[in-house]
Amino acid sequence: MKTVASILIAVSLAAGAFALDARRLARPQDTVPASFFGMHIHRLAEGTAWPNVPFETWRLWDARVSWPQLEPKKGEWKFELLDSYVKSAEEHRVEVLLPLGPCPQWASSRPAEPSSYQPGNAAPPQNMQDWRDYVRTIGLRYQGRIRTYEIWNEPNLPGFFTGTMPQMIELTRVAREVLREIDPSIRIVSPAATEAGGIQWLDQFLAQGGGQYVDVIGYHLYVDPAPPEQMVNRIDDIRAVLARRKLRLPIWNTEAGWAHPKPFPSEDMAAAYVARAYVLSWAAGVSRFYWYAWDNHGWVSLQMTDSAGRPEAPAAAYSEINRWLTGRRVEECKSDAGDNWVCSLSGSSARQWIVWNARRSAAFSLPRDWKVSEVRDLAGRERKISGASLQIGVSPQLLEAAP
């Protein structure tokens, strides 16, 4: 049964109640790599088939392979699940991003303290040597197989971390020191903040010296129930923090999707959100985007698969936008006062543009010099077109000029 709140949110989405400013985004220097597309898979060991969408990196969060599951008691290790995940990743030529936190209850400085998971998980370790030993054990076991580690998940939220900023920076420093001794090529992703207070938390982390211990800024760009265009404002905030601290580090969106509204208004809108989120994130300056999640049927409302594991329209959109972007340059993305978005692409044999309207169906006037001859939708359907205008809507379309 829908609640009053969910109905109001759905109406707001349909009516365009969220403020969307006219914008211009330009990132002409980079070609979109296949590694831009990341994924979360939660239940590969419980029957989930390997996703039939293209992605090159897999973040192992909520997959039951964090520190409390790997070392449930001091010195008692359970590697079977993580071993199987790493093997599957290698078989599919997919890189693993492994988050290192949270803290198991036995090592916690506050073992009875509530958290978003088990008691004690959000507190820092009582003894930093336990953290050092854990990181070294993981680093040695998966040497040459896992080369990217994220320090902690959403440390600005008390359900995930209740320690101080100096304690988090020390956890980061120690992890970097240990892992770089094992393999100097390992990349360290910062603790990934999110949502309310996340920008302020990141600013303080960098202000107090945390930036010297990381190679990548991780962030969780949740904006739900707002549309994907709201991600641009959050990315701008992250870039402003980095500029203020005089740091030039890549930005990775290591977790994002939509958990609201519940239920999601439609599969078509869900597919549109997936595509728009990826296009705009790249254009605004994000270098990786790990979708949450392939096989989550509880917390998320925008689902890639149904309860039987069959891919749905958002999964097709994920594949299609990968096809449109990978190997291309997004020369410019811009919107106008009518909420029409145009992203121009280069790198193919013909000129291409991705177009949509963030709120509604609208007539879009085709510039004469574009000479558009074909249109492709998020289901991969192509059609020939002619004329001076095209009907567009919330679902992006790919326009291609005549050769």
Query: 119: closest CA among 107, 131, 132, 127?
Result: 107
Which pLDDT does position 20 carry in this prediction?
52
The span from the first CA to the last CA of the chain, in angstroms, equals 52
- Domain 24-327: give its CATH superfamily: Glycosidases (3.20.20.80)
Low-confidence ranges of the chain (pLDDT < 70): 1-22, 26-29
Which pLDDT does position 196 carry in this prediction?
87
Which pLDDT does position 336 carry in this prediction?
94
Run of H or E residues at 191: none
Domain extents for the chain?
A: 24-327
Query: 390: closest CA among 376, 402, 378, 380?
Result: 376
Global pTM value? 0.94
Kindly give, in sequence order, each residue whose CB lies less than 8 Å from that of residue 250, ignoring residues fewer than 6 positions away: 215, 216, 217, 287, 288
Range 280-283, long-range pairs (CB < 8 A, 24+ positions): 280/25, 280/228, 280/229, 280/231, 280/232, 280/333, 281/221, 281/228, 281/231, 281/235, 281/253, 282/27, 282/32, 282/36, 282/325, 282/330, 283/25, 283/26, 283/27, 283/330, 283/332, 283/333, 283/343
Instruction: Look up residue 272 and give its amino acid.
Output: A
Which pLDDT does position 30 carry in this prediction?
87
Beta strands 372-376 and 24-25, pairing class: unpaired
Phi-psi region of 392 (alpha: psi -120 to 50; beta: other; left: phi over 0): beta
Query: 81: closest CA among 66, 96, 93?
Result: 66
Q: Is the peptide bond before 72 cis (omega within 30 degrees of 0)?
A: no
Q: Can you read off the two tokens belonging to residue 223? A: 């904006």
Model pLDDT for residues 268-302, shown as the tens digit of each residue: 999 999 999 999 999 999 999 999 999 999 999 99
Nearest 5°: the CA angle 123, 107, 42 is 75
Q: Can you read off the two tokens belonging to residue 176? A: 């970097």
Which pLDDT does position 403 carry in this prediction?
79
